[in-house]
Structure 1
Amino acid sequence: MEGVTLKTPLGKILIVESDGRVKRLVLNADPKLDLLPTTPFQRQLVDLFERYFDGEPVDFSKIPTARQAKYSEIYEVLQEKVKYGGIVTYAELAELAGLSRRHARVIGNAMAANQIPIIVPCHRVIRSDGRIGNYSGGVKWKIYLLELEGHKIQSGRILKRT
């Protein structure tokens, strides 16, 4: 297992990979940790993330990732259907994944268990009332990522839905 760190406007992230597949992405990584890319795959990851944090729409869905068994189908639907700048409610994502809208809590659990945020874009999943909800990396990260992708947020709510 290898990794690479990347400086972002909110601090360092750590991307852990093995055999050319991303296994984990850690937001708020140890600022002292400094892992430079050593493989072509790691260099590609750094390039994609630098472009993303510069505000360029990047499609992370083609990055090979380790299967996150329990919720893998939900994650695949999220990656395929909710692209850069898009948002979806927990209930809407439940329907897209072939579940009832009443399974919004299952979607919330899946988002909380996501080990590969940004690549599996759980930051794009919001509450039905427009509130942004929680985020594994903290609400500050969720607000930053949504604003980076063009959304306007005020008092924890999406004002502009693109």
Structure 2
Amino acid sequence: MGYVKELRKVVGHRPLILPGAVAIILNEEDEVLLQLRGDGGGWGLPGGIMELGESLEETAAREVFEETGLTVEQLKLVGLFSGKDYYLKVANGDELYSVTAVYMTREVSGELLKDGVETMDLRYFPLHQLPGDVVPSYRNFIHTSLGDLLI
């Protein structure tokens, strides 16, 4: 996240518009992979903020690998989320409006790895039995993007 750190040196805590990407990874049973975040923020989808020179798809693939140890392929764009509902003020006072590309895939390889810092746990959950502490924006990404599977 070097780019954002450099921006923060200039703008401080003022709001930024930050593009990023997450991945909805489904297994054969239509269960979704969730990450228990190391920052105490609850369960969410693997993903993060775009670095300079990356495409949104590259951002999703890089972040998935960094946070889960999995390599993803065949990423399909299923949604783009932005606006006032995606304003965040994080614990250190930084403010941002996120613009998030949501991708979906069933094509993964590798072994799940949790680093104990950014990722405390990784588990697949049935779509109708998501944990109560899923970050609200991620819950919205899942329900909006996978509506057909939730019926």
* TM-score of the aligned structures, taking structure 1 as reference length: 0.30
* TM-score of the aligned structures, taking structure 2 as reference length: 0.31
Question: Going by fraction, where is helix more abundant, 1 or 2?
Answer: 1
Question: Going by fraction, where is strand more abundant, 1 or 2?
Answer: 2
